[in-house]
Amino acid sequence: MKTRILIIGAGDAGKTVFNEFVEKGKESHIVGFLDDDPSKAELLIGSKSILGTLSSIDKVIEKYSVTEVIIAIPSASQEVLGSVISSIRIFDSRISIHIVPSGEKYFETVPIVPSLEELTVFELTGRDEYSIDIDGIKHKYSQKTVLVTGAGGSIGSELCRQIIKFGIKKIICIGKGENSIYDLAKSLKLYTEFMENPPQAIYCICDVRDKIGIRKLFNEHKPQIVFHAAAHKHVPMMEYNSSEAVSNNVGGTLNILETCCENHVEEFVFISTDKAVRPVNIMGATKRLAELMVGYFGKHKNIKVAVVRFGNVLNSRGSVIPLFIEQIKAGGPVTVTHPDVTRYFMSISEAALLTINASVISAGNEVYVLDMGEQLKIYDIAEKLIKFHGLKPNEDIKITFTGMRAGEKLYEELFYGTEEQLKTSNSKIMYFNEECLLNEEQISEIVKNLETIKSFSDEKVREFLKKIVPEYSYDKVSFEDMRVVN
């Protein structure tokens, strides 16, 4: 069946989306526009008409056999989004809906179509508007060479996609998985081919623990700003691969930090997680230990560092959203670990842009915490996603409880509660200054243990982490109880 796309919004974003389809030779895919502005009634945009207002969406979808809707209103209110989506879903739940992310309203000279996000239930949960210091970021990043580790991952790849919009000279994208880095290269090309002066993009398959390989890359490309996003993040999986988690999350961070110091990198930004707060799992404990190491280097090694801590990002690999959607398409059941489990959520683009903004604010040695809004109950998310697909929870699709997985909490935290939470120039970015909690003797012990960590038993790995991160608490796990995916 031929793709037939209806664009909602005939403003700048809608026109840009249409022009990008024209440039790709896909103008015929667009059936037209909808817009509530009476001054635009019956206007032509290129060869396409404004077919009516938002209230006529069901009639237009039927008349033109629409298969996909693009909502091109970056500043649309939750009420507008909710009304549009409800109208589409009631008429035909099979229609694909994509949205221009709210962050795209900050950019005028980069393409929009590559940024389109498949609409999920979270666009309807009332996330507050956010802003970024677009001029400050451009001033800082203009003609800089930026390196991103974990560039093939959800956060790392989005950081790359956003960073290239700020006039940088070169981006070095480091990842361990060849397929994910290949996918990143394809997605960045969609942006750079539209740019008048695109940055040079270097794609490197390299493990962050590889001392020789990492030093070669730094020596060759001379990065000025480094974002360290590489990490093993899957909580249950890391409970049963504890030595690998420490080797990668701690050892990899240490290697990147040391290489940054050797090469006089201007700034190091560490991507952390809410699971580093009072950790009850290996992943959280390793990220907390990495946070502490970053603080040590910032105080003692003459390098500007910042930690940015946030919760779950929507539709990231391993998150509940893709899993729930997969389960719904398979006919269910949708599996939830516990009826009361809650999590923080934020869109990937928002998390990346606020992280970049935090680096502009940073004077060095701060821990930044992104405002994640209210925690959402996972059961409610499951219900809304089922309804979002035009189905009835526990009738058409069952929701079942599987029990908490190894290393999971009922809820997450962003602060320990003892820090003085300070405001920044951006209402969505808070910070605190943490005293350096590691000494040289502890750093030496970490280095020594990293050399032999792969030979440690799971219990010995936990004892090592507990010694350096006393707030880490854990239960002994049984490999027979392993439930990686519910």
Q: Report CA dihedral (206, 209, 212, 215) to the nearest 10 degrees.
A: 80
Q: Which residues contact 197 (CB under 8 A, 6 or more apart)?
A: 167
> What are 280-328's pLDDT values in tens digits?
999 999 999 999 999 999 999 989 999 999 987 776 666 787 788 889 9
Name the superfamily (CATH) of residues 5-124: NAD(P)-binding Rossmann-like Domain (3.40.50.720)
Q: In whole angstroms, what is the distance from residue 379 CA to residue 387 CA?
A: 13
**Beta-strand relationship, 68-71 and 96-99:** parallel
Amino acid 95: pLDDT = 86
pLDDT of 63: 93
The tokens of 291 are what? 């946070």
Report mean pLDDT in 10-residue bins for the chain, 486 residues.
Answer: 88 89 89 89 86 90 92 79 78 82 71 69 61 94 98 95 95 96 93 85 98 98 98 93 97 98 98 95 97 97 95 72 86 92 85 96 95 86 82 92 84 79 93 92 96 95 96 72 48
Separation between Cα atoms, residue 184 and residue 429, nearest integer Å: 27
Instruction: Tell me how far apart the alpha carbons of residues 294 and 434 are, in angstroms, rounded to a whole number.
Output: 11
Q: What is the pLDDT of residue 126?
A: 56
Quote the pTM value.
0.86
pLDDT digits (tens, 9 = 90+) for 171-199: 999 999 999 999 999 999 988 887 888 99
Instruction: Compute CA distances 149 → 26, 29, 96, 211, 271, whole Å.
Output: 35, 37, 33, 14, 10
Q: Count CB neighbours of 179 within 10 A.
A: 9
- Evaluate the omega torsion of the peptide bond into residue 114 and state whether it is cis, within 30 degrees of 0: no
Please give the Cα distance from 471 to 464 (Å, whole number).
13
Q: Can you give the length of the chain in residues?
A: 486
User: What gap in Å lies between CA 233 and CA 335, rounded to an integer?
Assistant: 20
Structure tokens at 337: 């670990």
- For residue 12, CA distances in Å to 112, 117, 128, 162, 437 come to 11, 18, 22, 20, 50
Beta bridge partners of 191: none
Q: Which of 367, 275, 351, 280 is nearest to 316 (CA)?
A: 351
Going by C-alpha positions, the residue among 192, 251, 240 that lies closest to residue 462 is: 240
CATH topology of domain 134-433: Rossmann fold (3.40.50)
Could you tell me the residue ranges of all domains in the chain?
Answer: 5-124, 134-433
* Nearest CA among 403, 409, 402 for reference residue 474: 409
Query: Fold match between 5-124 and 134-433?
Result: yes
Catalytic residues: 275
Tokens of 170: 């070169």
